[in-house]
Amino acid sequence: MIDRRTLLLGTGGALAVAGTLTAAAPVVAAPETPAELPTRNPLVEQRADPFITPPTDGMYYLTGSVPEYDRIVVRGASTLDGLSSARERTIWRRPATGRMGGYIWAPELHRVDGKWYVYFAAGDKDEPFRIRTYVLESSNADPRADGWVLRGQVVTHLDTFTLDATTFEHRGKRYFLWAQNDPAVGSGTNLYIAEMASPLALRTTPVRIATPTLSWEVQGFRVNEGPAVLIRNGRVFVTFSASATDARYCMGLLTADENANLLDARSWTKSPNPIFATHVPTSQYGPGHNSFTTVGSLDVLVYHARDYRDISGDPLFDPNRHTRVQRLHWNDDGTPSFGVPVGKGGPIVRLTTLDGLFVRHYEYRMRVDGNVRELADSQFRFVPGFLGSGTVALQSVNFPDRYVRVDGDAIRIDPFEDTDAYGRAASFVRVPGLADSKAISLNVGANSYLIHDRGRLVVASPGNDRDARRRATFRLG
């Protein structure tokens, strides 16, 4: 038997799988995280409802709800990863009495016409749940600087529970998008949109574009809240969060054509199922209240989640909703592909064939396919091999207790076993690609490699056959 700690550290001698692997084989370095995309998870602890700006003058800025619900904070860094340790500044604190003296929730930081604005929800001292939306303004270039001015409440069509406001520009118009209760509709919150006359006021009558009606939107509470906007591929996408703020919290998606009238409720279509939800294998519970940013050409999903399911008392006052980030992918049809909340670990990769097919698992068997909509089935982490220095193992992202394993003619992702046999069957030597030195190949012993064959992933010896060497070569992305 081998010690699990030893396995995960990748110590030990050479290893044999269907032959003899030698650690002296040329090993490709671990993949770099693309364009400074962080791998740490969480990025920032105890910051719920996270909002990270797009890169602005070379900086990212982060704000979010603090567990005390008593102030608004901002931190900044030149990279997303740098936000983890960046100094945090309090730019505004609630008054001791009266209006806005209650809970302070979900601030968002936006740069509009050369000024910074923070939209946030606040209750009153004697009525902390009398939540309304307010706005702060700053003329400073750096939002962490002093000089923020309270501009007052953003008035909507109803004087009711109002929160989670965001703003975006599209086709020369600026819009306001938020969650609000309408007693005529019922309990809970709906999503509304209006055109803005200025960063401080609405121009048009609000339009309701989403109401919680589906089973996954009404768990614990009837909730549509936390909208976030991403305009890509000819469409306007709005993610939102639903249900109670425990492990049932999840994210839904609204879609409108980019040429549609965004102020017409008929322009919006709600996806029938949640697009991001609790994933027990990665120990990520209640993901939601997201925002989006970018790193280079990559879109990045920002969200909060907990590392545990069970909560004592009201989940609203459990402090451990942590800020997390992961890459957002796109399907062939131009729709976003969220995968699962990935949990802890190092860089995540997707392996593609030279023909553009994805290496993935299906029913725990390894294969290659095109247009894999189940994103997490095609995501892996390279970790140290189990029995040899210079070897690697491929860990499944959505089932992190499983690794790619060779078992005769079958290649599967199998649960970890603390045995030499498992270590031998789940470790490989990663070498420059047989058909493209910028890609990789995975040596399985002697002259055998992982190779794809008519949709299956198998072990074979490509020899000098040009086609076989192409099929044993995979790009990382």
Active site residue 68: no
Compute CA 220 distance to the chain's CA centroid, rounded to the nearest angstrom: 24
* Catalytic status, residue 225: yes
Place of tokens 């068997």: 365
Catalytic residue among 49, 108, 318, 377: 49
Cβ distance 288 to 323 under 8 Å? no
Q: Which has the closest alpha carbon to 476: 386, 382, 367?
A: 382
How far apart are alpha carbons 23 and 77 in whole angstroms?
A: 40
| Residue-wise DSSP of 30-82 | PPPPGGG----SSSBTT-EEEEEPPPBTTBEEEEEE-TT-SEEEEEEESSTGG
Cα–Cα distance measured from residue 352 to residue 176, given in angstroms and rounded to the nearest whole number: 40
The structure tokens listed for 6 are 């030893």
42 preceded by a cis bond (ω within 30 of 0) = yes
Q: Looking at 108, 182, 225, 377, which residue is catalytic?
A: 225
333 exposure class (CB count in 10 Å sphere: 0-12, 13-18, 19+): exposed
The residue among 322, 325, 324, 290 whose CA lies nearest residue 306 is 322
DSSP codes joined into one string, 417-457: -SSHHHHHHT-BEEEE-SS-TTSEEEEEETTEEEEEETTEE
Rounded Cα distance between 103 and 101, Å, is 7
The residues annotated with a catalytic role in the active site are: 49, 225
